[in-house]
Structure 1
Amino acid sequence: MESLKPYFEPLENLLGKGGVRKDIVFILISAAALLASFFASDSLPIDPAWLAVLLCGVPIVIEAVIALVTEFDVKADLLVSIALIAALAVGQFFAAGEVAVIMQLGGLLEELTVGRAQRGIRKLVELTPRTARVVGENGEEREIAADDVQLGALVRVLPGETVPVDGVVVSGNTSIDESAVTGEPMPQDKQPGSEVSSGTSNQFGAIDVRATRPGQDSSIQRMARLVQSADAGKAKIVRLADRWATWIVVGALTAAVAVYMVTGEILRAVTVLVVFCPCSLVLATPTAIVAAIGNATKHGFLVKEGDALERLARVKCAIFDKTGTITEGKPQVSAVIPCGVNALCQTRLYTLLASAELRSEHPLGRAVVRCARAEGVDLREPSAFEMKPGLGVIAEIDGEHVAVGNVALMSESGLSVALWECESLASHRDAGDTIAYIAVDGKAAGAVALSDTVRRESRHTVRQVRESGVQPVLLTGDNEAASRTVADAAGILEFSASCKPEDKMRYIERTEREGTPCVMIGDGINDAPALKRAFVGIAVGGVGSDVAVEAADLVIVNGGISEVPHLLALSRQMIRRIKANLTFSMALNFAAIILAFLAVLDPVSGALVHNCGSVFVIVNSAFLLRWSPKRLA
């Protein structure tokens, strides 16, 4: 059968041309033809319903034949085609046209639902500029295609322009509007060393950006590839409906033959075929899934698999990573603590600390400078600076020799860490904070405690997850003290510290063997195995964690977890809608068959009743687009 596919490709391409606009035009023309057939067919030489059959019915028949011949794929189109041909054979032209038009209308509504579901993410893709301004070694600017920008290239972005690549700011200061990518409404200040993402808007000030993810590897382009996978057709529950449709084809033919043998009336048999068309049954599931995908998209999620939402409705345990998921993922200064024989006042100590770290490339050093600037600390440019990898920094500030670093750096300077011991410092160490020691002119002067702050929404989110019947658990590679502090702050009762990636996987495997499906929520490379292994994987921060995004089933685009309870509730509501759609579809089919057997329905009225059911199913599913649980609103 596969060898026949090339012969049908030109026909399939022809049928696919024109898109939604063509379908709308054909449906409108066909509907007008049906009206003319209903009111004036006797006065015309040819029944106008034939136009509806040609425009809407013939494509259905052709697609059914192609699927049957090339793949032996028995689905809804085959039964619809049989019903069309049977209605035409007994002269029921209006019934044939009506079935064709309403089937195409149902397909159009589904297509529009899918389009609406993905429109929000497509806007992100369209934000990527087609060109980039590359700066050469001689300082000369040249404009090239954004896809042609090479790794490490220097790209200049002027005020009002869209950033064409992911990269790091090399020079210039500005404010970037990241709302289209992250959902953050406030512009973010950027200076040398700051990361910027493609698709974001430069508000003011020219900046030079060193490309770290150019072309097809940029944030927006990777999201574009995710959009392509947001297809409800991949869901297992959709394939189940297809299998039902196959059996219904057989059942419809059997029922039609049985009715004809009992009644001897071909018209009743044709009516059975018309009302038995599994239109609403086949539409019941994918329309609900794509509408739920649309709802999830509006709430900041990329759904890579429709099946993920169906699985999410069954989870009983939510496993959270700590860093970047429950916490912000950015170190913050918890306290600047004067202590030691040369203890300084806190203001002076903070000034020396942040000034010494001003040229540091270490994440903790950058965090100190960031926090100091935010708090208005008076920073001084160091007259001398030395970065000691793995130890800390040494700098000259206003004639004073300042060393900031770990125990090893202090030991190298001949200082014992016992010189810094005090009650305040011990409490921060017990809480799991990272401690850096500060020495001024060779004497202990104080210390700085840094921690990863818990997201503001974490505690509220965890409480809502627990209220929905899902047990929250914290798995982290951090130490016991830091893990306990974060778990307590977020309201998580069960946690496990010092977890390696394989430990997280083993926890999930053990939990699911006990009959508790898990959803894993994480953001880092170390979370990828667990995201892949869990019943459902949700990656946090869709534009920054490549490996995690690839491993996950869903992606949180805005980087926050506040909408996770909404997603859990939405998945369960989606399943309820699917079950209601399937129940309604089957009940309507069997009721229509009985009425057709009793000659209450003829092919025309049978087609109307049955296909109105399809429209009802689509409308019922479409309500999911704007659905929101009242208790979470």
Structure 2
Amino acid sequence: MKRYILKHRNQITIFTLVVIVVAFVLHYAFHQTQQSEILLLVASIVGGIPIWMQALEALRLKIISIDLLVSIAIIGALTIQNYEESAIVTFLFLFGLSLEQRTLAKTRLAIQELVSMAPKRALRVGVDDVVEEVDVDDLQFGDVLLVKTGGQIPVDGLVIAGEGYSNEATITGESLPVFKQKDDPVYAGTILENGTLRIYAQKVGEDTTFGKIIELVEEAQDAKSQAERFIDRFSKYYTPVVLLLALVVWWVSQSVELAITILVLGCPGALVIGVPVSNVSGLGNGAKHGVLLKGSSVIQSFSKVDTMVFDKTGTLTVGNPEVVHVISYTKKQDQALQYLVSVERESQHPLAKAIIEAYKDIQSLPVSQTRVIRGDGIIAKVAGEVVMVGTPTLLKNHQVIFDKQMEADIAELENQGHSLVLVSVGGSVALLIAIRDVLRQDIVKDLLDLQKMGISDLVLLSGDSQSAVDVIAHQLGLSKAFGKMLPKDKAAYVKELQQQGHVVAFVGDGINDSPSLAQADIGIAMGSGTDVAIETSDVVLMNSDFHKLPYALGLAKATNRNMKQNIIIAIAVVIFLLLGVFFSQWMNMAIGMFVHEGSILVVILNGMRLLKYKLKK
């Protein structure tokens, strides 16, 4: 029976709400007071059953829990036949438990999602070059594996033959595929977008980088789940004090009625209601404005953050490479652009896609004698001209001359972190194209807002080169920036900050970010990121609107302040009532309950103010 009731706690919560609503309609619309009280009594008893079960279970373990605190409030209200208060207290507490249960379910789903994305099958090369498909769990160190275009790399290892472009977004978070050739490292879980590779397995199964990502997420989430909610810690001391006080009064005065009065007046109805009202109002405001805050514990931790760590691609940047700068060294720039577009339409490289998107209105010419130079670019014949499109190395290897100005332009753009595409027509440099993942609009203002709200350190961690990372950090005014960071490095850095006493929030959007999102005190995911990053995080910025990050922080701080205000109001009223019992002649249960109900109304109205919260300009 106990297992059945706890399993259907969410349904009991819904039932309790429906009964309360019907009771209020009967009372205020049809003046059916007796029927209303019966329904409120039913809601209190039915809703209170799972709470009482939990309280008794905790008592068996010698724990004075929040469930016992609420049980006293419900029983006290029922004792004086205040069914309205008992029903409301019951529903709000059950609703808070449902929110917590849903968050835990999302956490488990995140790990399941990560596991499901791990490679399942692999092509192993055996004796006499015989290729067989095997289960990934059967792979061993030293196996030689074959990966074809579109295939998932199943192990960490070294390329021993072949060439191709590997999409390593799952590991490094970078959107541009990386060219792989002999002796280059590859990682499990990455995708070979084109080409064919033979790989020597060095790490398999849980030892791979992708396997470590899953392990890091599990460890960080386990550590987080042990944190107690603030109200639980408070009740650990408050509940025994009230119980002890009632027992002492009964023992001294021998008055059962006085002891019950103290229990009733000491029941923290406003405390139990005030905290959920603040949190639910804050959560509702956030959801309305595109900010998903996953529970009350998240709000409290988020409000204390002093350090924010950012991923680059898809977080500080848009996530799509774009042409940002063009330098022309020819008088026939339009013709050179037409040659460029014609050649790039023969390629599937991400930089080629960025160029085609930038110049999609330019009509292409027939291309012949196309020759792809792996890792460097393309040489082709366009309208009778030999056209080379690719890296500076490609042009230099084919005796194209660079003057001092060209060398200076290339050096400057490389130092700024751009990816470069050069165009040579007839043996002469015609164009220099700079491509990069552009920064989000008005992001500098957003970062300044965060600093004004108490974020002392803004840190960038990226798998990109250090020079590119330094440029972005300088542009945005960040405190620190580190490049060439793998997921385990990012998570380790976050942990190091925490050990130094910082409360850390990590902002990211990729699978590679999930260990850091889980390790951080608060993980913040961009809404257009991977499902794993979103599920692992504590806060989600829907539609990837970075402008909502200062809003989310401000809302968390306002909600936490509001919650503390309600706690202070609730405790102050209880102290006032208890002092009134001992030190006044006019205090009785009726007056006490009137003040008690008034305090509940005050904390509810105070909490509802959060529904109209707006970030101050």
Match of 1:324 in 2: 314
CA 1:428/1:253 → structure 2, altered by over 3 Å: closer, same or farther?
closer
Counterpart residue number, 1:460? 445
Matched residues in 2 for 1:236 and 1:452: separation? 39
Matches within 5 A, 1:139-150: none
Q: Does 1:553 align with 2:538?
A: yes
CA contact (8 A) 2:275 2:563 kept: yes
SS in 2 for 1:364: helix
Contact 1:26/1:56 (8 A) holds in 2: no
- Equivalent residue for 1:333, pick from 323, 331, 335: 323
Residue in structure 2 matched with residue 102 of structure 1 by the alignment? 85
Q: How far apart, CA to CA, are the structure 1 residues paired with 2:16 and 2:55?
A: 23
After superposition, the C-alpha distances for 1:79-123 in whole angstroms (9 at most, x for unaligned) are 1344256x3xxxxxxx41x2x212323555788999999xxxxxx
% identical equivalent positions: 26
1:314 aligns with 2:300: no
User: What residue ranges of structure 1 are gaps of 5+ in the alignment?
Assistant: 38-47, 88-94, 118-232
Aligned to 2:69: 76
Which of 487, 491, 508 aligns to 1:501? It is 487
- Give, as a single letter, the amino acid of the residue that structure 1 aligns with 2:349: H
Q: Does the alignment pair 1:606 with 2:571?
A: no
Match of 2:476 among 466, 474, 490: 490
User: More displaced, 551-560 or 586-595?
Assistant: 551-560
Q: Which amino acid aligns with 1:241?
A: I
Distance in structure 1 (CA, Å) of the matches to 2:47 and 2:249: 26
Structure 1 residue identity aligned to 2:596: H
Q: In the aligned structure 2, how far is the partner of 1:499 from the partner of 1:607?
A: 60
Shift of 1:32: 8.3
Residue in 1 aligned with 2:103? none
Q: Quick check: 1:536–1:553 contact (8 Å CA) kept in 2? A: yes
2:340 equivalent among 347, 353, 369? 353
Q: 1:437 aligns with which of 422, 426, 445?
A: 422
1:577 and 2:574 aligned: no
Map 1:234-253 onto structure 2 (within 5 A): 236=227, 239-245=229-235, 247-253=237-243
Distance in 1 (alpha carbons) for counterparts of 2:396 and 2:407: 18
Matches within 5 A, 1:358-397: 358-373=345-360, 376-380=361-365, 382=367, 389-397=374-382
Residues 261-272 of structure 1: pairs in structure 2 closer than 5 A: 261-272=251-262
* C-alpha distance in 1 between matches for 2:230 and 2:276: 11
SS at match of 1:315: coil
Does structure 2 retain, via aligned residues, the 8 Å contact 1:242–1:282?
no
Can you list the C-alpha shifts for 1:366-396, whole angstroms capped at 9, x where unaligned? 00111113xx444446467565543323444
CA distance in 2, matches of 1:532, 1:26: 43
Out of 292, 301, 304, the position equivalent to 2:291 is 301
CA contact (8 A) 2:401 2:428 kept: no
CA contact (8 A) 1:82 1:273 kept: no
C-alpha distance in structure 2 between counterparts of 1:426 and 1:564, whole Å: 35
Kindly provide the amino acid, as one letter, of the partner of residue 516 in structure 2.
A
Which residue type is aligned with residue 527 of structure 1?
D
Task: Give the whole-Å Cα distance in 2 for the aligned partners of 1:14 and 1:451.
Answer: 52
Structure 1 residue 524, shift from structure 2 partner? 3.0
Alignment partner, residue 18 of structure 2: 21
Tell me the distance in 2 between the aligned counterparts of 1:116 and 1:6. 19
SS, match of residue 421 in structure 2: strand
Q: Helix, strand or coil for the counterpart of 2:540?
A: strand
CA distance in 2, matches of 1:34, 1:463: 56
Report if the CA contact (8 A) 1:245-1:278 is conserved.
no
Corresponding residue number in structure 1 for 2:141: none
Give the counterpart letter for 2:506 in structure 1. Answer: M
Partners of 1:313 and 1:15 in 2: CA distance: 32
Does 2:414 align with 1:424?
A: no
- Contact persistence 1:83–1:273 (CA under 8 A): yes
Which one-letter code corresponds to 1:285 in the other structure? V
In the superposition, relative to structure 1, how do residues 335 and 377 fare at CA in structure 2: closer, same or farther (>3 Å)? Answer: farther
Contact persistence 1:475–1:499 (CA under 8 A): yes
Given the alignment of the two structures, is residue 519 of structure 1 paired with residue 505 of structure 2, yes or no? yes
1:411 Cα deviation after fit: 5.6
Counterpart-to-counterpart distance in 1, 2:418 and 2:381: 27
Q: Partner of 1:335: helix, strand, or coil? A: strand
Question: 1:531 aligns to what?
Answer: 517
Check 1:115–1:416 CA distance in 2 against 1; reply closer, same or farther (3 A cut).
farther
Q: Deviations over 1:176-223 (max 9, x none)?
A: xxxxxxxxxxxxxxxxxxxxxxxxxxxxxxxxxxxxxxxxxxxxxxxx
The aligned counterpart of 2:135 is none
Q: Secondary structure at the match of 2:409?
A: helix
Secondary structure of 1:558 counterpart: helix
**Partner of residue 612, structure 2:** 626
Equivalent residues of 1:30, 1:49 under 8 A apart: yes
1:51 aligns with 2:38: yes
Larger displacement relative to structure 2 (279-288 or 28-37) = 28-37
Q: Does the residue aligned with 1:295 lie in a helix, a strand or coil? A: helix
Alpha-carbon distance in structure 1 between the residues aligned to 2:499 and 2:8: 49
TM-score w.r.t. structure 2 length? 0.69
Q: What is the Cα deviation at residue 500 of structure 1?
A: 3.7
**Distance (whole Å) between structure 2 residues aligned to residue 305 and residue 62 of structure 1:** 24
For 2:248, give the aligned amino acid. Answer: A
2:571 counterpart residue number? 586
Aligned counterpart, 1:477? 463
Q: Cα–Cα, structure 1 residues 313 and 344, in superposed 2: closer, same or farther, change >3 Å?
A: same
Kept in 1: contact 2:306–2:454 (CA 8 A): yes
CA distance in structure 2 between the partners assigned to 1:509 and 1:69 by the alignment: 38
- SS of equivalent residue, structure 1 residue 421: helix
Relative to 1, partners in 2 of residues 1:14 and 1:308: Cα closer, same or farther, differing over 3 Å? closer
The letter for the 1-side match of 2:84 is V
- Output the CA distance in 2 between the equivalents of 1:575 and 1:273: 28
Distance in 2 of aligned mates of 1:251 and 1:419: 82
The answer to whether the aligner puts 1:254 opposite 2:239 as a matched pair is no
1:325 deviation in Å?
A: 1.9
Among 564, 586, 599, the alignment partner of 2:549 is 564
1:314 is displaced (CA, Å) by 1.8
1:62 equivalent in alignment to 2:49: yes
Cα distance in 1 for partners of 2:603, 2:226 equals 18
CA contact (8 A) 1:64 1:81 kept: no
SS at match of 1:519: strand
Question: Contact 1:523–1:539 at 8 Å: present in 2 too?
Answer: yes
CA distance in 2, matches of 1:31, 1:266: 35
1:617 and 2:613 are equivalent in the alignment: no
Shift of 1:62: 3.2
Q: What CA distance in whole angstroms lies between the structure 2 residues aligned with 1:36 and 1:599?
A: 32
The amino acid of 1:600's aligned partner reads W
1:429 maps to a residue whose letter is E
Counterpart CA distance in 1 for 2:274 and 2:406 is 67
Number of paired residues? 489
State the Cα distance separating 1:280 from its structure 2 match. 1.8
Contact kept in structure 1, 2:13 and 2:94, CA below 8 Å:
no
Secondary structure in 1 aligned to 2:304? coil
Give the superposition deviation at 1:315.
Answer: 1.9
TM-score of the aligned structures, taking structure 1 as reference length: 0.67
State the match for 1:146 in structure 2: none
* Displacement after TM superposition at 1:365 (Å): 0.6
User: For the residues of structure 1 that align with 2:465 and 2:486, how far apart are their CA atoms?
Assistant: 12
Structure 1 residue 418: Cα displacement: 7.1
Q: Does the 8 Å contact 2:336/2:425 carry over to 1?
A: no
Alignment partners' CA distance in 1, 2:439 and 2:597: 53
- Alignment RMSD (CA, Å): 3.8
- 1:115-143 superposed Cα distances (whole Å, 9 cap, x missing partner): 999xxxxxxxxxxxxxxxxxxxxxxxxxx
CA contact (8 A) 2:281 2:608 kept: yes
Q: Aligned pair in 2 of structure 1 residues 366, 328: CA closer, same or farther (>3 Å)?
A: same
